[in-house]
């Protein structure tokens, strides 16, 4: 067995085209000929399966230490298919601060079809246990164990760490399965199936594809029965990833470790810089220097490359964001280029302000998705944008007494 970084590059043999090509071919065919009416070919119709998609599906199954993988047209299509294995009346416990699109899929779609969704903070194990067991459930659901716990390993945008081993353990104690969105972490930093999870989901749009050029979703299971149910949903709902896009994700995965190493190195440098910057009030990053023990005790090999920070009161975070030149002002994450965004306006605006503030997503919070550029250039880009934000701050407060000024700064 080869090691992870070798598996990324050539985990699967490329052996079906008799040409010596080092990459698997892309099969642009929606249909496949039968030899005769009496035979069932391996491939018949591309939605049901095709060799290009199968390559990617086997690749991610291998990297996540599962038995079967599935590729979808987006992360949300993957999540939709996974949640479609449940039935009306099934109760699903959902971690707090999950991806907004997933939150909406649960509440605005699956609840309409009778799935019962209950949110719980997944770091409060007592509350989680009571919720999964049904002890804290209301009405008819009282005493009736949940069917699944759904959560993300690193929450967005505050980067709180969820412990897969602990959460999956609680789920299993009550006969529920654990479904983990591993998008922010990738199998390079943690393989949730090894920690007890039953289903792993990726928005492969992010780190796995890694170049902001494709929307894709991946699912991996380790249990045959679950695999059959997810396959049924994939084939019937039909939100599959097209062959060309499967190949983009396959190629992206080959450089995952290289990219993630550089992205994490940059994120660590930027987080250290931000911690010392006078216009920065707080920094949220699980990979902060000195936090190695917390990471390791949660089974993580690194903190990833998304971080967030708050500017001090009075400074307008838009002044920072609008004046960045290397960081692009954009949502999404995990790609080679660095991106910056304002969660309250760009990724989390659908959350009512009070809800947002309650979970800590303030109006001053900025999220960075760090890329592979030179870290010094990224830090200098932030530095010059902070300088402009400070000048604007001084202009806004020109003429105010030193007393009012101090009140703002030390508010
Ligand atoms: C982006 C994202 C999704 C949704 O994936 P799409 O590819 O945009 O459909 C789901 N979960 C997380 C954590 C994400 O970051």
Q: What is the secondary structure of 185-228 as a DSSP string?
A: THHHH--GGGGT-SEEEEETTTTTT-SS----EEEEES-HHHHH
284 and 373 share a domain? yes
CA of 184 to the centre of ligand 1 (A): 9
- Which of 254, 275, 306 is a domain's end point? 254
CA of 277 to the centre of ligand 1 (A): 31
Please check the confidence at residue 17 and state whether its pLDDT lies above 80: no
CB-ligand 1 contact for 150 (6 Å cutoff)? no
Q: How far apart are CA 22 and CA 335, in angstroms?
A: 25
pLDDT digits (tens, 9 = 90+) for 130-165: 999 999 888 878 889 999 999 999 999 999 999 999
C-beta of residue 311 within 8 angstroms of C-beta of residue 121:
no
Q: Which residue has the higher pLDDT, 359 or 225?
A: 225
Q: How far apart are CA 363 and CA 268, in angstroms?
A: 24
pLDDT digits (tens, 9 = 90+) for 57-81: 999 999 999 999 999 999 999 999 9
Cα→Cα distances 349→100, 106, 158, 323, 361, Å:
9, 18, 15, 21, 10
309 and 160 share a domain? no
74 and 194 share a domain? yes
239 and 265 share a domain? no
Please check the confidence at residue 406 and state whether its pLDDT lies above 80: no
Cα→Cα distances 352→144, 317, 367, Å:
31, 19, 19
Q: Per-residue confidence at 408, pLDDT binned at 50, 70, 90?
A: low
Give one word for 91, left, alpha or beta, with left for phi > 0 and alpha for psi -120 to 50.
beta
Residue 352 confidence (pLDDT) = 85
Mean pLDDT over 191-199 rounds to 98
Residue 116 φ/ψ, nearest 5 degrees: -95, 125
Helix axes 256-276, 243-254, angle to 10 degrees: 60
CB-ligand 1 contact for 205 (6 Å cutoff)? yes
Q: Per-residue confidence at 400, pLDDT binned at 50, 70, 90?
A: confident
- Which of 220, 236, 254 is a domain's end point? 254
pLDDT digits (tens, 9 = 90+) for 88-101: 999 999 998 899 99
59 and 186 share a domain? yes
Residue 61 confidence (pLDDT) = 98
Whether the link from the prior residue into 157 is cis, omega within 30° of 0, is yes
77 and 199 share a domain? yes
Q: How many Cβ atoms are within 10 Å of 270's Cβ, its own excluded?
A: 23
Mean pLDDT over 24-46 rounds to 96
C-beta of residue 27 within 8 angstroms of C-beta of residue 56:
no
Mean pLDDT over 360-374 rounds to 97
Residue 405 confidence (pLDDT) = 57
Question: For residue 140, what is the DSSP state?
Answer: G
230 and 174 share a domain? yes
Mean pLDDT over 217-240 rounds to 98
Q: How far apart are CA 257 and CA 242, in angstroms?
A: 25
Task: Take residue 279 and report the two structure tokens written for it.
Answer: 């216009």
Q: Per-residue confidence at 39, pLDDT binned at 50, 70, 90?
A: very high
Beta bridge partners of 282: 310
116 and 55 share a domain? yes
Tell me which of 74, 101, 184, 335 to substitute to probe ligand 1's pocket, judged by most ligand atoms within 8 Å of the beta carbon. 101
Task: Take residue 379 and report the two structure tokens written for it.
Answer: 């830090």
Residue 240 confidence (pLDDT) = 98
279 and 190 share a domain? no
226 and 269 share a domain? no
126 and 271 share a domain? no
CA of 40 to the centre of ligand 1 (A): 36
Tally of domains within the chain: 2
Please state, rounded to an integer, the average pLDDT across all residues of the chain. Answer: 95
Residue 294 confidence (pLDDT) = 93
Mean pLDDT over 322-338 rounds to 98
Residue 143 confidence (pLDDT) = 85
Please check the confidence at residue 411 and state whether its pLDDT lies above 60: no
- Which of 233, 254, 275 is a domain's end point? 254
Tell me which of 70, 72, 76 to substitute to probe ligand 1's pocket, judged by most ligand atoms within 8 Å of the beta carbon. 76
**Atom from ligand 1 closest to the CA of residue 101:** 4
Q: Per-residue confidence at 182, pLDDT binned at 50, 70, 90?
A: very high
Residue 201 confidence (pLDDT) = 98
Question: For residue 111, what is the DSSP state?
Answer: G
Q: How many Cβ atoms are within 10 Å of 217's Cβ, its own excluded?
A: 28
Positive/negative CA dihedral, 112, 118, 122, 128: negative
CA of 397 to the centre of ligand 1 (A): 40
222 and 366 share a domain? no
Q: What is the CATH number of the domain that holds 107?
A: 3.40.640.10
pLDDT digits (tens, 9 = 90+) for 281-296: 999 999 998 899 999 9
Task: Take residue 161 and report the two structure tokens written for it.
Answer: 């760490």
Q: How far apart are CA 347 and CA 101, in angstroms?
A: 10
Task: Take residue 152 and report the two structure tokens written for it.
Answer: 């993300």
Lowest mean pLDDT among 125-134, 222-231, 351-360: 351-360
| Residues designated as active site | 47, 99, 181, 206
Interacting residues of 146 by C-beta distance below 8 A, sequence separation 6+: 90, 91, 92, 93, 118, 131, 132, 134, 137, 171, 174, 176
C-beta of residue 311 within 8 angstroms of C-beta of residue 281:
yes
Interacting residues of 277 by C-beta distance below 8 A, sequence separation 6+: 382, 386
Residue 141 confidence (pLDDT) = 80
| Cα–Cα nearest to 368, from 314, 298, 317 | 317
Residue 402 confidence (pLDDT) = 62
Mean pLDDT over 208-222 rounds to 98
Q: What percent of the chain has pLDDT over 70?
A: 97
Please check the confidence at residue 304 and state whether its pLDDT lies above 90: yes
Q: What is the CATH number of the domain that holds 366?
A: 3.90.1150.10
Q: Which domain holds residue 231?
A: 4-254
């Amino acid at each position: 067995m080869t090691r992870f970084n070798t598996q990324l590059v050539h985990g699967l043999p490329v052996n079906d085209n008799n040409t010596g090509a080092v990459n698997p071919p892309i099969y642009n065919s929606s249909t496949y000929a039968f030899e005769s009416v009496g035979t069932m070919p391996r491939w018949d119709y591309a939605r049901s399966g095709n060799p290009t998609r199968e390559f990617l599906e086997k690749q991610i199954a291998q990297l996540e230490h599962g038995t079967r993988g599935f590729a979808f047209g987006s992360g949300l299509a993957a999540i939709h298919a996974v949640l479609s294995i449940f039935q009306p009346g099934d109760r699903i416990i959902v971690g707090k601060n999950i991806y907004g699109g997933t939150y909406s899929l649960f509440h605005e779609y699956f609840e309409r079809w009778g799935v019962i969704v209950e949110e719980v903070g997944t770091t409060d194990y007592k509350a989680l246990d009571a919720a999964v067991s049904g002890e804290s459930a209301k009405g008819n659901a009282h005493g009736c164990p949940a069917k699944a716990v759904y959560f993300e390993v690193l929450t967005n945008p505050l980067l709180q760490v969820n412990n897969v081993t602990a959460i999956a353990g609680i789920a299993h104690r009550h006969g529920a399965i654990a479904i983990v969105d591993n998008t922010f972490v990738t199998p390079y930093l943690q393989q949730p199936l090894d920690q007890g999870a039953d289903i792993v989901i990726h928005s492969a749009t992010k780190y796995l594809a890694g170049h902001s050029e494709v929307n894709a979703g991946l699912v991996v299971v380790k249990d045959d029965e679950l695999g059959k149910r997810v396959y049924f949903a994939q084939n019937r709902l039909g939100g599959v990833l097209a062959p060309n896009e499967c190949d983009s994700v396959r190629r992206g995965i080959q450089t995952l470790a290289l990219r993630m190493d550089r992205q994490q190195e940059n994120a660590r440098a930027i987080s250290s810089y931000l911690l010392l910057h006078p216009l920065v009030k707080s920094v949220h990053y699980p990979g902060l220097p000195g936090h190695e023990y917390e990471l390791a005790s949660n089974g993580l090999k690194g903190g990833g490359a998304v971080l967030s920070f708050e500017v001090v009161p009075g400074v307008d975070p838009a002044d920072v964001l609008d004046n960045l030149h290397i960081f692009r002002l954009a949502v999404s994450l995990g790609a080679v280029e660095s991106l910056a965004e304002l969660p309250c306006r760009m990724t989390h605006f659908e959350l009512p302000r009070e809800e947002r503030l309650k979970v800590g997503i303030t109006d001053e919070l900025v999220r960075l998705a760090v890329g592979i550029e030179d870290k010094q250039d990224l830090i200098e880009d932030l530095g010059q944008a902070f300088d402009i934000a400070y000048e604007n701050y001084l202009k806004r407060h020109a003429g105010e007494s030193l007393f009012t000024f101090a009140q703002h700064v030390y508010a």
